[in-house]
Amino acid sequence: VLFIVRKGLCVIGRYNELIFYMTMWLPVIFLFPLKDGSFLNLLPLFKVGWKSISTTVPPVIYSFLGFELVFFFYPFLKKKQYAIHGIIIANTLSMFFYLFVTISCFVFFSPDSITGFNQPVLSMLKVIEFRFIERLDVVILNILILFSSRAWILYMYCTVFSFSQLMNKQDHSSYVPVLLGLLVVGTFFVQPTWMQVITWQKWASNAGIAVAYVFPVFLWIYSWGYEKFSRRRFS
């Protein structure tokens, strides 16, 4: 993380591309447990009602956060006309992958048994065994760390980049060790429980929704009003 964030957006983009190609085989793995599952577990559809289904919208929105970082990356793009295409394609691929994994878990587990698992995805992968590997869930867990590192790297870069801009510095690399040091030291003083992590995740979800969906609206209103005011001023 230290080396990648210090090198800037070009290296970050190559790292994300590398992780994407390295994990393209993951959806195929989730097909193996389906032979032991039953699609009858999906029935009846919408049995809990639309009100209960609507309560799951905030966690789903939290999974799709990250596109707001386009505010940081857009000025560095060479072909800005393709920015919207990249965002739509990326979110669509994520949506299909999340949907496929979710349906696979509901097909493999019964409606009653799935509530007893804290991490149903990893629990489902434990039943997969090959001649050359037994604990495939351990391999998948390490791959998930690579997935998570992409989010850490992007948000850390935006943090140090914003701070360097506030300090009128063009080079952000000197602030990366400081941020990493604060995070490492913080882990010795802050040791949250599982319930505290869930609570913090809810706070982060609400804050992310406000930043990603509400803030751009106010930013658009401000830019529209500023442009209109400037035209009247100089006309």
Mean per-residue pLDDT, 162-183? 90
Q: What is the pLDDT of residue 235?
A: 61
Residues with Cβ within 8 Å of residue 177, at least 6 apart in sequence: 2
Q: What is the pLDDT of residue 157?
A: 92
Q: Which two tokens stand for residue 206?
A: 């609400």
CA 140 – CA 29 distance, rounded (Å): 10
SS3 62: helix
Q: What is the pLDDT of residue 27?
A: 85
- Residues 49-94 pLDDT 10s: 788 878 777 777 777 788 888 888 888 888 888 888 888 888 888 8
Of how many residues is the chain composed?
Answer: 235
- Residues 112-133 pLDDT 10s: 888 888 888 888 888 887 777 7
Whole-model pTM: value is 0.80
Q: What is the pLDDT of residue 176?
A: 92
Other CB atoms within a 10 A radius of the CB of residue 33 amount to 19
CA 5 – CA 154 distance, rounded (Å): 8
- Residues 139-148 pLDDT 10s: 888 888 888 8
Q: What is the pLDDT of residue 234?
A: 65
In the chain, % of residues over pLDDT 70: 99
Mean per-residue pLDDT, 210-216? 84
> What sign does the dihedral 127-130-135-137 (CA atoms) show?
negative
Mean model confidence pLDDT for the chain: 85
**Taking a C-beta distance cutoff of 8 angstroms, is the pair 106, 41 a contact?**
yes
Task: Name which of 116, 117, 120 is nearest 30 in CA terms.
Answer: 120
